[in-house]
């Protein structure tokens, strides 16, 4: 069992770009925690292998109190076979991480924290509707380090913002590198449907950065982080000393996981299912020990496409021997035939029967992966 994901659907405020299932009404937190603990009990039989990772995501899990987190963790450890060295991650925002809250977290078994910083420039943070300042972000990381609460700290950064320059992006990266953290996730801003960000775009009030500038920012990201000793192990993720996100890596390697909470997704190797997209309905159903979910049985071509997509995103690539064994000769040949032009163009490579993106291929990875997928 790869792990367990818990979706905590609360935020103090919503960010300009966010399209995740979250809400800002926190009055239902206690009822949600009770419902989540009930779901843990209801789904105990779905986990028949040792749990290696637990990930509290959202939303903003740091909106929960120590007592609420403790209640959830107690239910998890009572119900599931969690390994002694399981990676247990908490996503958090800098403005929630007071010294008292960090000290409270030390009393819980979290051993990894992922801090949503996004930028070290106050003007960018204000544009994104983030609540913290750049100085708060810096001080938060240092507090986590100084009191010894976490020795495995990840931060999120965002680039490709309207008006962002290459110099500003470089300053963000230099500041991140100065913090001596173990992991950095860096994402290009995406204009998701029905978000306030996309409304501004459609009204002509903001302009996206050019494709050329986006490419330059991504190139700078790779060069600066790898030069500083980070391993570029997934398109948007970098780690020092092999401190990968073990939980997310298990997704990319196709391992099983159980998703708990409203809108959470689960994968058992053959099917994907997801919980109801309604907090109120989720809570009411859990009071009755019932759970509404939808399920998709994944046919062989869908599983093949996901195998290509997730494998090529990482430095471990696509194991061609395993692809042949899992999906058969036809799809194996299809993959190699469609990869040929990218192999010739040095955008893909094969090493020890593993298909991987080259440095040049990473920049057009979406197109390459699309061409290798089976179109029904």
- What tens digit of pLDDT does each residue of 245-277 get? 999 999 999 999 999 999 999 999 999 999 999
SS3 269: coil
Q: Mean pLDDT across the stretch 29-34? A: 97
pLDDT surpassing 90 at residue 292: no
The whole-model pTM stands at 0.95
* Spatial separation of the C-alpha atoms in residues 349 and 136, rounded to whole Å: 43
Q: Which of 53, 56, 49, 55 is nearest to 1 (CA)?
A: 49
Q: Mean pLDDT across the stretch 210-214? A: 96
pLDDT category of residue 150 using cuts at 50, 70 and 90: confident
* Spatial separation of the C-alpha atoms in residues 181 and 244, rounded to whole Å: 12
What is the predicted pLDDT for the residue at 156?
98
Give the ranges where 59-98 is alpha helix by DSSP (H).
Answer: 66-79
What is the predicted pLDDT for the residue at 93?
97
pLDDT category of residue 1 using cuts at 50, 70 and 90: low
Domain annotation for the chain: domains and CATH numbers? 3-251 (3.80.30.20), 300-372 (1.10.10.920)
pLDDT surpassing 70 at residue 104: yes
Q: DSSP states of 149-196 as a string?
A: S-S-EEEEEEE--TT--HHHHHHHHHHHHHT--SEEEEEE----TTSH
* Spatial separation of the C-alpha atoms in residues 20 and 89, rounded to whole Å: 19
pLDDT surpassing 80 at residue 287: yes
pLDDT category of residue 178 using cuts at 50, 70 and 90: very high
What is the predicted pLDDT for the residue at 375?
84
- What tens digit of pLDDT does each residue of 157-173 get? 999 999 999 999 999 99
């Amino acid at each position: 069992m790869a792990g367990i994901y818990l979706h905590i659907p609360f935020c103090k405020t919503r960010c300009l770009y966010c399209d995740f299932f979250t809400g800002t009404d926190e009055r239902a937190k206690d009822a949600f925690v009770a419902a989540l603990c009930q779901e843990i009990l209801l789904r105990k039989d779905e986990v028949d292998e040792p749990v290696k990772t637990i990930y509290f995501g959202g939303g903003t899990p740091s909106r929960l109190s120590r007592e609420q987190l403790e209640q959830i963790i107690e239910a998890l450890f009572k119900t599931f076979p969690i390994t002694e060295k399981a990676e247990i991650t908490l996503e958090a925002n800098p403005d929630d991480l007071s010294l008292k809250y960090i000290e409270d977290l030390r009393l819980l078994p979290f051993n990894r924290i992922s801090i949503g910083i996004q930028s070290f420039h106050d003007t960018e943070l204000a544009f994104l509707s983030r609540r913290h300042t750049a100085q708060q972000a810096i001080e938060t990381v240092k507090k986590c380090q100084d009191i010894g609460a976490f020795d495995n700290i990840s931060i999120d950064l965002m680039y490709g913002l309207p008006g962002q320059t290459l110099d500003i992006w470089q300053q963000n990266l230099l500041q991140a590198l100065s913090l001596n953290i173990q992991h950095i996730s860096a994402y290009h801003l995406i204009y998701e449907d029905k978000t306030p960000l996309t409304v501004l775009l459609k009204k002509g009030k903001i302009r996206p950065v050019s494709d050329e500038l986006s490419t330059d920012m991504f190139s700078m990201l790779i060069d600066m982080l790898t030069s500083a000793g980070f391993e570029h192990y997934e398109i948007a993720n970098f780690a020092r000393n092999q401190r990968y996100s073990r939980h997310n890596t298990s997704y990319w390697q196709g391992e099983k996981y159980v998703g708990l909470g409203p809108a959470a997704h689960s994968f058992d190797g053959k099917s994907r299912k997801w919980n109801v997209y309604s907090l109120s309905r989720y809570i009411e159903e859990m009071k009755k020990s019932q759970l509404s979910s939808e399920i998709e049985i994944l046919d062989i071509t869908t599983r093949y496409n996901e195998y290509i997509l997730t494998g090529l995103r990482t430095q471990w690539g696509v194991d061609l021997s395993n692809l042949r064994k899992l999906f058969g000769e036809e799809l194996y040949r299809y993959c190699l035939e469609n990869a040929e032009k990218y192999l010739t163009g040095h955008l893909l490579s094969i090493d020890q029967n593993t298909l991987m993106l080259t440095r040049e291929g990473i920049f057009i990875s979406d197109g390459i992966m699309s061409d290798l997928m089976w179109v029904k």
